Amino acid sequence: MKKKDVINYINVFLFLLPALALFIFILIAPIFKSLYYSFFDWNGMTDMTFVGIDNYKELFTSKPIYFWKSLGNACLLAALSVFIQLPISLGFALILGRGIKGERPFLSIYFMPVLISTVVIGQLWLKIYNPDYGLLTVALQKMGFADLCKPWLGDERTALMCVFIPTLWQYVGYHMLLLYAGVKGVSPDIREAARIDGASESQVNRYIVIPSIKPILKVSVIFAVTGSLKSYDLIYVLTPSGGPKHCTEVPSTRLFEMLISRNRYGMGSAIAVVMIILCFAFALMISQAFKERDIYGK
Amino acid sequence: MASDTRREHAVEKVGARKIIIYVILVLWALLNLFPVYWMFTFSLKTNEEIFGKNLIGLPWDWKWSNYASAWNTGHMPLYFLNSVVVSVCAIALVIISSMMATYAITRLEWRFSRHVNAFFMLGLTIPIHASIVPIYVTLKNMGLTNTYFALIFPYAAFSLAMGILICTGFMVEIPKELDEAARIDGCGPWKTFGVVILPLMKPAVATISIYSFLQCWNELMFANIFNSDGKYRTLPVGVQQLSGQYTTEWGPIGAALVIATFPMLIVYIFMSKKIQESFVVGAVKG
C-alpha cells in the first residue's frame, strides 16, 4: 500500500469514528449481548447461571408470563392497523393528493397528533375514558345511554379496544403523509391522460395511482406491522399494570415488567430477542409479498 | 335535451360527491383538533366546570393558577430543562457524527464505502428493544442511570441511521467539482469538509434536527427505564408521574400537558412543511 492510501484510509476511519462508535456500542453489540443474556438466569446483581433455552421454554409454555396473550394482542393491533388504519390513511392521501381546495391545512391538521407526545395523548384519552367524569361517559349519559357506561379501561371486555383506538387514531396522519407524498409523485400527465380516456376518479386511483405508489405502500405496511409489534407508550400510559387480568399486555409491557419489577434480565432479553426476530421476519415477509405481486402482474 | 339533463345529473352528482368528501374531511379534522382544543380549555378550568357544568365549552373564568401550580409544585421547569438538554445534545451528536460519516461515504474514495453505508442503514430497522437490556445493564454497572448521558447517547445512536440517510440525500446533490477545486487550492479532506461541504449542508441540518428532536422529545420507553427517578426525568416521564399525583385535580394536569406540548405545536405552526418533509424523506428513499 502506498503512503497516500494509508493516509486516505486513516482519514476515512477518523471521519467514520464517531458514527461507528455510537452505532456499534449502542445498536450492534447489544443485539448480541441480548442474545447472550437470554440463555442465562440473572437478576443483574449475583452471578449469571446458564440455563440454555429454559427462558424461551418458559416464555412460550408458562401461563403466568402472559407472552402468548401479549403476542396475540400485538398481532391483533397489527391486523387492525393494516386493515383499518391504513385504508383510512390511503383514502385521505388519495383525496388530498389529487389536489383539492384546503389540501395543505387538512394535511397539517391530520398530521398533528403524530407530533404530540404519546404520554400527552394517553393522558387525554384517560380523561375521555374516565368512568365518572370522562367525555365518553358524559356524552353517553346525555344521549340517554347511561346503562351502556362502564369503567372502560377497567373492564376486561372493553379495555383492549379502548387502548387500541387512540393508538390507531394517532398514526393515521403519519401513514397518510407518507402515502400522500407518493400520490403527489404520480405525474399529473398520466392522470390527465387516463381522465381523457374516460377513466373515472376511482378507476384512476385503482389502476394508476395505487400501483405506482406500491413501494411506499410497502414501507407503510412494514411500519404499521413492526410498529404494532413494538407498541408500548400509549398502552403503558392507559393501562400501566397490563389492564384487568393482563388483557392489554403487549410484548413491550412484558419486557418492561420482567426488567424493572422482577429483575429477570435473562427473561427480558429473551422477550427482546423474540421481538427482534419477529420484526425482521415480518418485514421480510411483507417485502416478499409485495415483490410477488409485481412478477405476476396486478 | 336528453344530453342536457344527463349533463345536469352529472354535475349534480359531482357536486354531491364533493360535499360528502368535504364533510368527511372536516369531521376527521375536528376529530384531530378536538383533543388539543379540549386540553387547552380544561387546563384553564376548575374541577367544577370540568366535571359537568361546562364540559366542552370555553372556560368561564380563565384559571391561570392551574399553570402556576403545575409549574411550581409539579417540577415542570426541571423536566422541561432536562428534555431540552437531552434533545439538544443528542441532536448535536447526530449532526456531527452523521455529517462526518456521510462525507467519508459519499466524497472520499475507498473500497468499502457501499458496504459501510449498507451497514449503517441496518439501523433503520433495528427496534430499540434490541438494546434495552444490555444498555440498562451497562449504565447500571457504570452508575450512569439517572444522568443525562443515559439518554443522550442512545437517542443519538437510534437517530443516526436516519441522519446519514438524510445527509446522503443532500450531499450527493453537491457537485464534485467543488471538492476538486478545493483540492487544487491545497485543501485536505478535513478542510474541504469544514469549509466547502458543511456550509452547504444547512438544509440537511434543519431536516435532521427536526427529525431527531421529535424522536427525543417524545420518547418514553428509554426515559422510563433509564431515568425513572431523580432529577433527570424528561417531560414524558415527568408528566406521567405528575398525573399520578394529581388524580383528582384535572386543571393542573391539563396545564402540565399543555406545557409539554406547546413548544412542539408552535414549531409545527411555523414549519409544518419542513417537519412533514423530514418525516417523509426516510420512508420514501429507504
Q: Which of residues 235-274 of A touch B (CB under 8 A)?
A: 236-237, 251-252, 255-256, 259-260, 265, 268-269, 271-272
CB contact (8 A) between residue A30 and residue B133: yes
How confident is the model at residue B5, as a pLDDT?
A: 63
DSSP A50: E
Between A77 and B250, name the one with better pLDDT. A77
Same domain, residue pair B35 and B81: no
Domain co-membership, B163 together with B107:
yes
Q: pLDDT band for B181, please (50, 70, 90 cuts).
A: very high
Measured between CB atoms, which of A19, A109, A272 is closest to B98? Answer: A19
In a shared domain, residues B28 and B162? no
Residue A17 lies in a domain: no
State residue A298's pLDDT score.
Answer: 45
Q: Cell digits for B126? A: 433495528
Report H helices in B43-112. 47-48, 65-73, 76-106
Q: Is the pLDDT of residue A163 over 90?
A: yes
Phi, psi of B220 (to 5 degrees): -115, -40
- Cβ separation of A138 and B55 shorter than 8 Å? yes
Which chain B residues touch A229 with a CB distance below 8 Å?
127
Report the candidate in B171, B173, B174, B167 with the shortest Cα–Cα distance to residue B211. Answer: B167
Same domain, B84 and B146: yes
Residue B216 resides in a domain: yes
Task: Read off the pLDDT band of B97 (50, 70, 90).
Answer: very high
Q: Is B56 inside a domain boundary? A: no
Residues B279 and B163 in one domain: yes
Do B33 and B167 have their domain in common?
no
Regarding whether B279 and B177 lie in a shared domain, the answer is: yes
- Do B28 and B136 belong to one domain? no
Is the separation of the CB atoms in A135 and B55 below 8 Å? Answer: yes
Cα(B163)–Cα(B156) distance, rounded to whole angstroms? 9
Is residue B54 a part of any domain in this protein? no
Cβ–Cβ below 8 Å for B36 and A116 = yes
B55 to chain A: which residues are within 8 Å by CB? 135, 138
pLDDT band for A282, please (50, 70, 90 cuts): very high
The verdict on B233 and B137 lying in the same domain is yes
Distance separating alpha carbons of residues A193 and B169, to the nearest angstrom: 32
Query: Per the domain annotation, does B193 fall within a domain?
Result: yes
d(CA B200, CA B216): 26
Residue found under cell 399520578: B244
Chain B contact probe: residue of A26, A46, A259 with most B CBs at under 10 A:
A26
Q: Which of B90, B88, B70, B67 is nearest to B78 (CA)?
A: B70
pLDDT tens readout for residues A26-59: 999 999 999 999 999 988 777 888 998 999 999 9
Domain range spanning residue A148? Answer: 62-295
Radius of gyration of chain A (CA): 24
Which residues between 64 and 83 in chain B have a beta carbon less than 8 angstroms from any beta carbon of chain A? none
Q: Same domain, yes or no, for B217 and B87?
A: yes
Instruction: Please indicate, yes or no, if residue B47 is contained in any of the structural domains.
Output: no
Among B157, B193, B268, select the one facing A26 at the smallest CB separation. B157
Q: What is the pLDDT of residues A11-28, one digit of tens each?
A: 999 999 999 999 999 999
- Residue A280: closest CA among chain B residues belongs to which residue? B125
Amino acid at position B256, single letter = A
H or E element: which one contains A273? helix A265-295
Whole-angstrom Cα distance, residue B10 to residue B78? 62
The set of residues, in sequence order, having a beta carbon less than 8 Å from that of B164 and lying 6+ positions away, is A19, B98, B101, B102, B105, B117, B120, B121
| Averaged pLDDT for residues B109-132 | 87
Range of the domain at B89: 73-285
In a domain, B63, yes or no: no
| Cα–Cα distance measured from residue A58 to residue B29, given in angstroms and rounded to the nearest whole number | 47
Which residues in chain B are closer than 8 Å to A106, comparing Cβ atoms? 25, 29
Query: For an interface test with B, which of A55, A100, A109, A221 has the most B Cβ atoms less than 10 Å from its Cβ?
Result: A109
Work out the minimum CA distance from B58 to partner chain A, whole angstroms: 15
Number of structural domains found in chain B: 2
Are B97 and B140 within one domain?
A: yes
- Whether the CB of A276 is below 8 Å from some CB of chain B: the reply is yes
Count how many domains chain A has: 1
The model's pLDDT over B200-237, given as tens digits with 9 standing for 90+, comes to 999 899 989 988 998 898 899 899 989 887 789 999 99
The answer to whether position B23 is within a domain reads: yes
Question: Nearest residue on chain A to B33, judged by CA atoms?
Answer: A109
Residue with cell 388504519: A85
**Separation between Cα atoms, residue A85 and residue A89, nearest integer Å:** 6
Q: Output b/e per residue, B26-44; b: 16+ Cβ within 10 A.
A: eebbeebeebbebbbbbbb
Please compute the mean of the pLDDT values over residues B276-280 and round it to a whole number.
86
Whether A149 is covered by a domain: the verdict is yes
Do the Cβ atoms of B100 and A216 come within 8 Å?
no
Side-chain-side CA neighbours of A211 within 13 Å: the count stands at 13
Mutation for B interface: A10, A27, A222, A259, most B CBs within 10 A: A27
> Percent of chain B beyond pLDDT 90?
43
What's the angle, vertex CA A105, arms to CA B272 and CA A128, rounded to 5?
A: 90
Q: Which of A89, A124, A275 to mutate to test the interface with B (most CBs of B within 10 A)?
A: A124
Q: Does residue B166 sit in the same domain as residue B233?
A: yes
Report ipTM (2 d.p.): 0.86
Nearest Cβ partner for A106 among B29, B236, B283 = B29
Q: Is A78 on the interface with B (CB under 8 A)?
A: no
The dihedral sign for the CA sequence A84, B122, B146, A67? positive
Kindly state whether B283 is in contact with chain A, defined as any CB-CB distance less than 8 angstroms.
yes
Q: Beta partners for A50?
A: A40
Tell me the HSE value of B106 on the side-chain side, using a 13 A CA sphere.
22
Neighbours of B214 (CB within 10 A): 21
Contact A135, A143 (CB under 8 A): no
Q: Is residue B61 part of a domain?
A: no
Q: How confident is the model over A173-187, as a mean pLDDT?
A: 92
- Would you say residue A96 lies in a domain? yes
For range B256-269, the mean pLDDT? 88
Closest to A128 (Cα-Cα) out of A162, A161, A85:
A162
Task: Read off the pLDDT of residues B33-46 as tens digits, 9 standing for 90 and up.
Answer: 998 998 998 888 88
In a domain, A276, yes or no: yes
Q: What is the CATH number of the domain that holds A121?
A: 1.10.3720.10
